[in-house]
Each structure stands twice: as structure tokens, then as C-alpha cells.
Amino acid sequence: MAIRKPRLSVAEARTKASASDPQSTSSAPPRPRSDLAARQPSEPVRQRIESPPTPAPSSPPLPAAVPEPAMLRPIDDAEPEPKVQVFVSALLPAKGVSPSFDMLCRQYRPSKALQMILRRALDDYEGLLQSGAHKKCPSSYETVRPSEQGALIQTSRMMPVALVSVARNHFDPLGLESTRAFGRKLASTALASFFRAEAERAKRLP
């Protein structure tokens, strides 16, 4: 019997057999994932852009302090009025000249009693110097004899410079008298004005 030469080659026969066998296709190794990814079109990577946080609203700045007007400032802020020390002296009043003096002499020495009255008299006289009424004040009063022991008292007082100038121009317009003489006239006039005002008040009483 003669041997027939096959019509298909060995390679073609294997290819045909593998195509007809369904399990042959499933046994083929899977393609690598990277190979599949390489075939797919690349998409642009979307980056998430975060907006910066909105700052919290800041509180409005405080208004600057407004300087206080000069007219509204407390009176205590004003500069004190300059004063000068004045040395004064006076004689004791005679008995009956001043009911206040006579009453005080029952509790104090006559010199102490007169110093107390002179302090008040000078307070009142400063007001007269300021208003200009000092020009109509009496300049003397009835006194004890200067030779009596303790008849003269001497003290000092702080007075505004402006009022001292007014008194100087009134008692010594030429500026020739001593400080001692000026102090005597100042105290005597202040006491005389006080005693006269005291006598006028007594007359108005019923």
C-alpha cells in the first residue's frame, strides 16, 4: 500500500487543531496589565486645587483718643497762683472796740485772740483788694497804749503776689516805706475794716 503525503504541514496542522479546540484559547497567558494600560489613551491627572482659607474678619480699630479741650479740663489742673510771705504786725484793740475780741480774751491770751481775728480780717481784706473796695476802708482803730506789755503782735501770712502789689500801690505808691511799715499798715487796715463791719452788724440786730 502506498503512503500518501499529507496535504498540511505539521505547523499548519497544529494551528488548525488549536483553533478548533476552545480550551486552547483560555489557556493562553493573560496579557500584562501594564501592556493594557499602555494601549489606553492617557488622561490628564486632575489636581484638586484648594483655595486658601478665608481669614476671619478682624475687629475694627479702636478710635484714637481725642484730646480733651482746654476749657473742659478740671480746674485742679490749673497752675496755682504764686504767693509771697508777708510779715505783719498790729496793736491790741482797746476794750469795747470789738465784742469778738473781748469774748475771745475770756478763753485765750489777748495776743492769741488778736491773731485769730487778724487771720479772719486778712481773709476779708483780700476780697476787698480784689474788688477794689479797699480804697474806702478805715486805716486805724482805737488801740491800747503801745507801752503796755504784749500790746504788739507779729506774725506772717502767705498772700497772692497780685494782691500784695495792689496793697503796695495803695499804702506805698512811691515805694519808699520799709517792709515792716507796710506790714503794719496792712494789718491795721484789715483789722479796722473787720471791726467796722462787726459794729455795723451789731447795729442791725434788734
- Tell me what percent of the residues of the chain surpass a pLDDT of 90: 55
pTM, two decimals, is: 0.62
Q: Dump pLDDT digits (tens) for 42-95.
A: 444 445 555 555 555 565 555 555 555 444 445 555 678 899 999 999 999 999
Assign residue 168 the CATH number of its domain. Answer: 1.10.1220.190
List phi, psi (to 5°) of 93: -75, 155
3-class SS at 95? Answer: coil
- Give residue 203's pLDDT: 85
Characterize the bridge pairing of strands 83-91 and 152-160: antiparallel
3-class SS at 151? Answer: coil
Residue 145 lies in a domain: yes
* Domain coverage including residue 180: 91-204
Whether the pLDDT of residue 148 is over 60: the answer is yes
CB 144, CB 114: distance < 8 Å: no
Residue 162 lies in a domain: yes
- Give residue 205's pLDDT: 80
| Cα-Cα-Cα-Cα dihedral sign, residues 17, 19, 22, 24 | positive
Q: Which helix (H) or strand (E) holds 154?
A: strand 152-160
Looking at the DSSP bridge assignments, the partners of residue 165 are none
Whether the pLDDT of residue 27 is over 50: the answer is no
CB 135, CB 200: distance < 8 Å: no
Whether the pLDDT of residue 149 is over 90: the answer is no
